Homo-oligomer: A and B are copies of this chain.
């Protein structure tokens, strides 16, 4: 029997940084050390994960920051949560870590129970089936494969024919169909080649990479505050939905059917662009009418930051999405889907690992902790405070920042240009707040679900101070 290391587990009372912004000398030395064996161009700083705790991240130079970025929105319970650490001594975790199964063929005997507790218990309404994958990109890749398989099965009225099976080996129709996925301007759905064909956020992600010729529709760009721009924003919704209908029609005529529409509830990487419930209601109705699979990509919005597990559940759709993708805060990627999309033949949605049971076992505990500690309620409450606090800062600094918006603690605002935004993020971290950017000029909050009133106070104080220094 061996002992598991446990961290001290007590958050500091606030950030503590040397006056200069990271990377400090230790991070710089580590980067130099890494340079000959690994790319380093995107590294911001190295982290001491043993010293990081709760809402606080400690860098390799010993600086402590209040972290509202949380590893690009991927830590639901912050750093070194004691309940998660306890899971590591569970025999299920140990065996899953060192004897990794090929889950699609030889699953663990606890797998049905673990899926049920970790995932089915929080399934979005109307999507009872779940498939785990490795990450957000593989979730989206397999979601669209599921959509394509369904679309072709409907069209044929049954499973693939001998002709389909033969022609697909030469990548010719009918086995290899000329069908597509419609996504939105500003969207981010991952970085594999097919995911990049749906991603339309930044050129540096896409340039030099071959892409599928798939259509892109407009996504609303609202003016804030919403209550003062009702007519403008409603027109945005209408115009965007019109482009969607037009593109579906156009592609149908060109015999290159749109099999699926994929959309984020909030375009996150692209700049925290929100869509209204009525926009999404319209989108759901168009896809339903056209027989197109409706995929909601909740890779970043899912997991509690918006005040519930699923941002799309606030839309009041006439019928639920066909597929809902997740990753990040769920620790494992995957997607929920409706029974009608079940793929009957084996080995069509398949790979060696099909997810990662250690993450699922941790997720089971996280879901338990989120319920026990009323964390979604806390997110909604703190989120309200965050939004109203940001609006106060906005009123006092309206020449520099604008468009405060959010759902729960999943908040953002914009600065007047990209240079100012980058400068703001640098000043904030030198003041002890680690926060992210997105799009060209937005600042995004992605705190953990354990972000509480006391952290909010510190965060607002630093934001206010940092905006003033711009």
Q: What residues of chain A have their CB less than 8 Å away from a CB belonging to chain B?
A: 1-7, 26, 30, 33-34, 36-39, 41-50, 52, 57, 60, 71-72, 74-75, 78-81, 84-102, 104-109, 111-113, 115-116, 119-120, 128-131, 134-138, 141, 144-145, 148-149, 151-153, 160, 164-166, 168-169, 171, 175-180, 190-194, 197, 200, 202-214, 327-328, 331, 342-353, 356, 358, 362
Contact = CB atoms under 8 A, between A and B. Distances in A.
Given A34-B112, A169-B203, A176 B107 contact: no
Given A4-B94, A37-B116, A109-B48, A206 B353 contact: no
B112 A38 contact: yes
A145 B209 contact: yes
Contact of A206 (B72, B98, B152, B176): B176
Q: Report copies per complex.
A: 2
Contacts of A97: 84, 88, 97, 358, 362
Given A5-B89, A112-B33, A194-B193, A207 B165 contact: yes
29 contacts: A1-B4, A7-B91, A30-B111, A36-B128, A37-B119, A37-B128, A38-B112, A39-B131, A39-B343, A42-B104, A43-B105, A52-B99, A74-B102, A75-B100, A79-B95, A84-B98, A85-B98, A134-B135, A141-B193, A148-B208, A148-B210, A160-B203, A169-B203, A177-B208, A192-B193, A205-B348, A212-B212, A327-B352, A328-B352
Contacts of A79: 95, 98-99
B71 A200 contact: no
Contacts of A343: 39, 41
Given A84-B98, A192-B193, A200-B169, A175 B37 contact: no
Contacts of A116: 37
A168 B42 CA distance: 21
Interface centre among A94, A328, A347 (most CB of B within 10 A): A94
A151 to B, nearest CB: 8
A112 to B, nearest CB: 4
Contacts of A3: 1-4, 89
Contacts of A99: 49, 52, 71, 75, 78-80
Given A80-B99, A112-B37, A107 B47 contact: yes
Nearest to A328: B352
A193 B144 CA distance: 9
B350 A175 contact: no
Contacts of A98: 79-81, 84-85, 87-88, 362
Contacts of A26: 109
A2 B89 contact: yes
Contacts of A5: 89-91, 94
Nearest to A79: B99
B112 A100 contact: no
Interface centre among A111, A112, A169, A352 (most CB of B within 10 A): A352
A97 B107 CA distance: 21
A177 B210 contact: yes
Contact of A72 (B7, B50, B149, B352): B352
Given A38-B115, A105-B72, A175-B203, A137 B135 contact: no
Contacts of A37: 112, 115-116, 119-120, 128-130
Nearest to A149: B208
Given A99-B75, A111-B34, A171-B213, A205 B347 contact: yes
B165 A204 contact: yes
A23 B38 CA distance: 45
